[in-house]
Amino acid sequence: MPENPPTATQNLPEYSVSELSRALKRTVEDAYSYVRVRGEVSGFKRAGSGHLYMTLKDDSSVIDGVCWRGVAGRLSIQPEDGLEVIVTGKLTTYAARSKYQLVIESMELAGEGALLKLLEERRKKLAAEGLFDESRKRPLPFLPEVIGVVTSPSGAVIRDILHRLADRFPRHVLLWPVLVQGETAADQVAAAIEGFNRIEPGGTVPRPDLLIVARGGGSLEDLWAFNEEAVVRAAASSAIPLISAVGHETDVTLIDHAADRRAPTPTAAAEMAVPVRTDLLAQVLDDSRRMVSGLGRLLEEQRIRVEGLARGLPDPVALLRSNEQRLDDLSERLRMSVRTGETLRRQKVENLAARLRSPKQLVDDATDRLTRESQAMTTAWSHFERRIHDRTAQAGNRLSPVPIQRQLDIHSKATEELGRRSAAAVTLAIKDASNRWSRFGDLLESYSFERVMERGFAVVVDDAGNTVTAAKSLKTNDAVEMRFSDGNAHAVVTGSKATTPTKCCSQCPARYGSEPWYSKPIWSDWPP
């Protein structure tokens, strides 16, 4: 009996592809409406629409996962390739490709070991970027006027900080309330740090001189918000010095490495922020006492020094009396010198007055001197006129045309004689040159190949028009043209044999070989 009889197959219901896909989808969703799956994230991708696509795998199987955009923003962790997670969601099918997939609604790390691994990898990454370098960290202000605190307003952390500040040194505190645990805690903490840095100095809201990011103790998962990259980068880029006070002494987060100073507890952060006022007052009072004591000792030392110097000084009264006597002596000497000088000047004036001449005598002397000079000038002028007259007469004689005409006649005769001699020389030179060129022309004419052809010679050219200079260049049956003095003739070569030309005489240019003699240089010793 066959396994599938015809009657059995005919009774099966018929489905379309879409109907079968929808039926499978309902079956899978009803059977696995809500599941919890553990696996390793692989092939993670964030689409432009905001949806997350990934694959969950273990050592033998894989399953596709998708997280819609509305849920992706609420995930407690951000998925990465290689991260072992536990996801919760619904199993459904994708009818377009006949595949089933897991619609993820929540995601958490699979154990504390995975968290620590992720934390270490993130720490190495941020350290490689230089966010934890000690050179980036700045010193804290000694006594900040305004302190900004980033923490939860309802926890005990803010109360501990305020209480410790009030005990040590009361300061103005600005609180930026944030969540310190949960999905949005990291974004709020990063926004608070950046918000404090955006406050302009001198505005309505005072700009803090110091920031404190604080949270109480908790597990690694509870403190995870302070390990996010956004919080670490905000702390590292803060222009305001920042103290990290997250957890207890044993709790270490990534913000502790990026902050300018780490406090083991929020209370310790308040102690780092401000000094103790009573200690400052005591130190100021002690410094004041030491300053007053030192000033007293300095004054006493200066007084003793002045008294010692005073003992070494002479008596002022004695010094004054000695100077008074010296002043009297100098005054007497000054009166005597004035009298003596007056007498000497009077005598000098009398001597000068005695040597002075009367004005009438001076006028008479000047008149005589003027008369002598006038006579001398008249005599000199007469001599000058006589010399000018003589020179004028001599120049007139030199400017007479008779000597000039005589010189012109002499030069004219010399010029005519030179012209006759030059014409004769040029005529003679032209005649000699004409004779030389005539001889050269006759000589060249005698060397012409046409004159040679008239004596019985011919020029042989091939069918290309090239001159045949050697018999060996011709072959049997080659057509050649022989050019004579009275015309041309055509011939065909029947045979050729290279021979060495012989001398017709002792001075024949047989040394030229088979080439025409006229194609060679003309030697000075031939023709005779």
Q: Which residue has the higher pLDDT, 248 or 263?
A: 263
Band (431; pLDDT cuts 50, 70, 90): confident
Q: What is the residue type of 123?
A: R
What mean pLDDT, rounded, does the chain reach?
80
Top-confidence residue, 31 or 231: 231
- Most confident option among 117-121, 185-189, 363-367, 521-525: 185-189
Q: How far apart are CA 103 and CA 88, in angstroms?
A: 8
Domain range enclosing 125: 117-131+146-274
Query: Which CATH number goes with the domain that contains 65?
Result: 2.40.50.140
Residues 229 and 91 in one domain: no
Q: What is the rounded radius of gyration, in angstroms, for the C-alpha atoms of the chain?
A: 68
Is residue 313 in some structural domain?
A: no
- Do 102 and 125 reside in the same domain of the chain? no
SS3 441: helix
Q: What are phi and psi of 56, to 5 degrees?
A: -100, 130
Residue (of 141, 173, 168, 142) closest to 281 by Cα position: 168
Same domain (yes/no): 77, 121: no
**Better-scored residue on pLDDT, 167 or 402:** 167
Q: Are 114 and 105 in contact (CB under 8 A)?
A: no
Within this chain, do residues 89 and 184 fall inside the same structural domain, yes or no?
no
Asked, for residue 255, whether it belongs to a domain, the answer is yes
Is 45 in the same domain as 86? yes
Domain boundary among 219, 247, 274: 274
- Per-residue pLDDT of 475-495, as tens digits, reads 787 788 887 877 888 888 887
Q: What are the pLDDT digits (tens) for 175-229?
A: 999 998 887 889 999 999 999 999 998 888 899 999 999 998 877 777 888 988 8
Residue 244: CATH number of its domain: 3.40.50.10550
Quote the number of domains for the chain: 3
What pTM, to 2 d.p., does this model score? 0.42
Contact criterion met (CB below 8 Å) for 195 and 248: no
Statement to judge: residues 83 and 126 lie in one domain: no
Final residue before a domain boundary, out of 240, 258, 274: 274
Is residue 371 included in any domain, yes or no? no
In this structure, is residue 169 part of a structural domain? yes
Position 515 scores a pLDDT of 47
Question: Are both 184 and 259 inside the same structural domain?
Answer: yes
430 located within any domain: no
* Distance in angstroms (rounded) separating the CA atoms of residues 151 and 90: 37
* 258 is a domain residue: yes
